[in-house]
Chains A and B, each alone.
Chain A
């Protein structure tokens, strides 16, 4: 009985893991990168434990910079796939040291974790059939609007309805492919989602010319790498590495590679040019949460 209590206490104690990540990496000779399996061109899996994408490759660059900084001759880079539901607990309990995927930096999360400087600014947009004649969110009143369960876009739509008194008939896909299918099959008149996810799904569709992204930007969300809170030296090391990549043009090269060139597995282009908002974030590196963007 006593042993069970002790074991339980040990499990609970994992919650307050030591905050010195650099020392941990040096000691163990390994870093655990949190990666996503289907976050569009930002981060995705190729199967067989291989991970790719803009933020995944950026994380690998950060890892090799950390290795140089720590003077380690050998450092193992472990990939740990995470989901929207488990990514924050896994960073907090030390399973993952650095998570670079599609995590929005917002005030609620900043209470639990810290964020590196923003490396991508996501804009929530509307995808419609090219021949639908819809050009603005105002035309979606009373229409069927698809979006994906478990994304901030659901809340964005809800806020928009409340603010404008409009009424969307929302249909929630269980994943992005499902939501896109709703648009493709005509069940939904529009698909509201992160711009790069819309662009990626359109690029992969049977006939990309049938769809287009229209209308105003509904929400702006800074996407950044996530790390443990109260670990200033580690955050500085990660931020410096990213700033170095911005300065050397490496980050812009990575962006071009993943968003403008054909990418695996289907060798199609996402075709989403670098947005003004992302350019601005690179020009003035910062870790401001989403709420600051909304105020502007």
Chain B
């Protein structure tokens, strides 16, 4: 086959090539569109990541608390969200739950997918945070409490600083996964990269070029997160502790 990269310079309504490849005055080319789609992908991924980190850490901590009801809550949350396939969860949030609670119909699908993806990933982060805390010797917790620290203080100053450092590598994978998983947002009508690929591919019949460009943008996004996390890992390294030099 022959390559036709000019496809990105075409106007999305007329199909005519545009000078300079970026449309002006309300005209949109496929190049404009792919960047806007990239923006949607990054917005969904980063906001979901914030939700996932907050909720996941909270649930992970609860699962190690010395109270069986809190442990039960954390376990129930984790098992609920990691045992249902992501696309099914999106379908439940989008079609099923709003038909039971009519108020939810007014919620924009962007908010919905951020929470759906955030909660799904929070189950996985909860598992990792729990594992991080449990990997510390029991004596650490007791030492903190024996020093006269309250339980929250023990977590804040003794356990979590070490647990989080230990789980940075799996958290990196999870953060990269969220970029790739954000592709399910196309199912709830978010104009992100996967939707762009399907739609622009159909309109231009240049699926190979379109998918290659989209693949590259996904790779760049996930790899950027990988590098950022690498820097974080490097900066928070403490001599004498795991991962330290």
Contact = CB atoms under 8 A, between A and B. Distances in A.
B202 A162 contact: no
A185 B205 contact: no
A202 to B, nearest CB: 19
Interface string B191-219: 10001001101111101100100000000
B235 to A, nearest CB: 40
Contacts of B15: 108
A88 B186 contact: no
A260 B151 CA distance: 73
A92 B1 contact: yes
Contact of B95 (A85, A106, A155, A185): A185
Interface range, A side: 20 to 34
Contacts of A112: 1, 205
Contacts of B67: none
Given A88-B207, A171-B189, A187-B105, A150 B12 contact: no
Interface string B96-128: 001100000100000000000000000000000
Contacts, number: 58
Contacts of B207: 85-86, 88-89
Contact of A154 (B186, B199, B211): B199
Contacts of B189: 170-173
A181 interface: yes
Contacts of B195: 149, 172
B13 interface: yes
Contact of B99 (A15, A150, A171, A185): A185
B171 to A, nearest CB: 30
B13 A89 contact: no
B27 to A, nearest CB: 9
Nearest to B95: A181
A109 B201 contact: no
A215 to B, nearest CB: 21
Interface of A: 15, 84-86, 88-89, 92, 106, 108-109, 112, 149-152, 154-155, 158-159, 162, 170-174, 178, 181, 185, 187
Given A84-B202, A155-B203, A178-B187, 18 more contacts: A85-B198, A85-B211, A108-B204, A108-B205, A112-B1, A112-B205, A149-B199, A152-B202, A154-B199, A154-B202, A159-B13, A170-B189, A172-B189, A172-B191, A173-B189, A174-B186, A174-B187, A181-B95
